[in-house]
Amino acid sequence: MRRAASGDATLWLCAGAAATCLAAIVALLAWLGIAGLSAFWPSPIVEVGLADGRTLLGEIAERRGNALVIRGSERDRIGGTYLRIERSAIVSRTEPPDAFAVTLPDGRRLFGRGDAPAADALLRSIPDAGASGAAQWPNAHGSFGRIGAFLRNAGRFLVASTTAPSLAGGAFPALVGTVTLVFLMSLIVMPFGVATAVYLHERRGWAAGLVRSAIANLAGVPSIVYGVLGLGLFVHGIGAGIDRWFFADRLPVPTFGSGGLLWAALTLALLTLPVVVVSVEEGLERIPPGLRAGSLALGATRGETMWRLLLPAARPALLTGLILAIARAAGAVAPLMLVGVVRLAPALPVDGAFPFLHPSRQFMHLGFSIYDAALASPDALRGVPRAYACALLLVIVVVALNLAAIVLRNRLRERYRALEG
């Protein structure tokens, strides 16, 4: 009876721990979704009358106890017009329907009142504003109008290019860079990971033990060390050698001797190699030994048995390793800061010009955009919501890639379930 009671207590303890972890994950995702989507909701423009006769026009950036933080027009620089006002000093506060906000290409925001000609006049009054600016009248929208503005802002964030890092523009270059990097990393790490797992599964001896020990040690190396390794080995070593041999006429301007997509993918491939090797080797170990023996008895060679029978049966394990590699690599920002990621890339790594994929180009990444918006933005109150939006987009990308791999893995597992029995 005591043993049964102890077993029940352990079971309930494990169930409670699992439920707590699940609730924490759901709460974290919900909070991230709310914080990320709120960045696209149009903020009302307020006109505040003060006791000393002044009138301020702008957005409420933050509420701090008995005070409001108002963001006014940024004519000179970003983040230089915040004003903290005590609630007791406010005589009136209205939301004029003709109040508008103009967002400049560099991220600055200007506020005014009037119609479209008034917005154009305000834009022309700023010498360094450029010829373009997006004007909005958020107070004039009803509920459906605000929802439409929210959808337009979210769509613009997804498909527009970045004009001012961490503040303005869209996340499309960072989204393309992240997805391209993950796919290129997967194409590199899977062949090497599968080959290493097959070698460890087929061979026994001191050499295999040395390789196994090296793989185990790689799994415990901090990610920033991989960045230093990629910088020294790939960028300054192999890349500089390629420039000296094949692009000497372009020196001292580097082609492959600086950070780029290829070196970042190779660095992440080293980072995720232990995960793939362990997953594939475990999948090969689960295949019944009689399957191999029957194939060899029928006259197949060891290579044919591995290529045509064992590896197809281990495809679910291969996809498990790919899922873990994608999850590991998508959030690894520290090594990318040394081998190719930038705040603002002049061109996408993938375009319509031959050869379509440009591995030597620097690129943008959603993970680095989160860091840049949260910690390196000239306006933290506007950068943090953008960081939440980039984090939400990164989570959606990782979940989508993993779901695709999980669905394919489950289909293959059903196909080869009879072999495991």
pTM of the model: 0.83
For residues 134 and 106, is the Cβ–Cβ distance under 8 A? no
pLDDT of residue 330: 82
Nearest-angstrom CA–CA distance, 329 and 398: 10
- Same domain (yes/no): 257, 154: no
Q: Is residue 34 part of a domain?
A: no
Where the chain has pLDDT below 70, the residues are 1-7, 79-80, 127-133, 162-168, 415-421
- Same domain (yes/no): 58, 178: no
45-50 β-sheet, strand order: 82-86, 67-71, 55-64, 45-50, 90-94
Q: Is residue 115 part of a domain?
A: yes
**Tokens, residue 308:** 């045509």
- Same domain (yes/no): 187, 147: no
Q: Is residue 182 part of a domain?
A: yes
Domain residues for the domain of 132 are 45-159
pLDDT of residue 168: 66
Which of 159, 186, 207 terminates a domain? The answer is: 159
pLDDT of residue 361: 85
User: Alpha helix locations (H) across 54-139?
Assistant: 116-124
Q: Is residue 17 part of a domain?
A: no
Instruction: Give residues with Cβ within 8 angstroms of 152, minimum separation 6.
Output: none
pLDDT of residue 381: 77
Q: Write the single-letter amino acid at 178.
A: T
- Same domain (yes/no): 185, 207: yes
- Same domain (yes/no): 211, 257: yes
pLDDT of residue 166: 56
Q: Is residue 1 part of a domain?
A: no
Number of domains in the chain: 2
